[in-house]
Amino acid sequence: MIATVALLAVACNKNQAAVKKLDGTWTATSFSVTEDGVTVDLIESGLITSATMTFGNCKLKDDEFCALTTTLETVFGTDTEADVYAVTDDGTTLQTKDDAASTTIETIEIVELSKTDCRLKETDEDGDITEITLTKN
């Protein structure tokens, strides 16, 4: 029982450490989408002119989510979304959803996370992959 409690404490600390690193505004330097084996960087191609993610800092507890705002500027206009997020799986998974009451959760792999750099990867149900590289402002 003591080993289980110790294991949970370590996992919670890794998740909270990731939340602490994410706290603040990040700017996308790469936003690539791979469909049917073809990869296009939407920033490099000019379709996305700016993308930012602002993560709120909070203390994670069971079923607690933190504030997340994503702003995407494209050639078609600007879209800003207010969502919530949590970090799970020892700091390797980012979960997002529309709001705290929502039951639909999007799962995104945290491939890399440091104080200044972040790389996220999401694979949808069709096998299409979105990879975002971010730098902290």
Q: Which domains does the chain have, with CATH numbers?
A: 2-136 (2.40.128.20)
Q: How far is CA 135 from the centre of its chain?
A: 13
Query: In this structure, are residues 128 and 34 in contact, taking their beta carbons and an 8 Å threshold?
Result: yes
- Looking at this protein, which amino acid is placed at residue 86? A
pLDDT score for 6: 38
For residue 8, what pLDDT is reported? 41
pLDDT tens by residue, 35-45: 999 999 999 99
Please write the tens of the pLDDT for every residue from 8-49.
Answer: 444 458 999 999 999 999 999 999 999 999 999 999 999 999
- Cα separation, 89 vs 108, whole angstroms: 11
Mean pLDDT in residue range 108-133: 97
Cα–Cα dist 55/43, whole Å? 21
Write down the pLDDT at residue 4: 42
Pair 53, 25: CB distance under 8 Å: yes
The per-residue pLDDT for 99 is 92
> Is the distance from CB of 103 to CB of 121 less than 8 angstroms?
no
Q: What is the pLDDT of residues 58-101, one digit of tens each?
A: 887 766 899 999 999 999 999 999 999 999 999 999 999 999 89
Report the pLDDT value the prediction gives residue 10, as an integer from 0 to 100.
Answer: 42
pTM: 0.87
If 0-12 CB within 10 Å is exposed, 13-18 middle and 19+ buried, where does residue 27 land? middle
Q: Which residue is it, tokens 């149900």?
A: 125
Task: For residues 66 and 58, give the distance between their C-alpha atoms in angstroms, rounded to a whole number.
Answer: 6
User: Is the per-residue pLDDT at 131 higher than 80?
Assistant: yes
The CA–CA distances, whole Å, from 61 to 2, 15, 90 equal 20, 10, 14
Q: State yes or no: pLDDT of 129 exceeds 70.
A: yes
CA gap 93, 45 in Å, rounded: 28
Q: What is the pLDDT of residue 12?
A: 55
d(Cα 79, Cα 73) in Å, to the nearest integer? Answer: 6
> What pLDDT was estimated at residue 58?
86
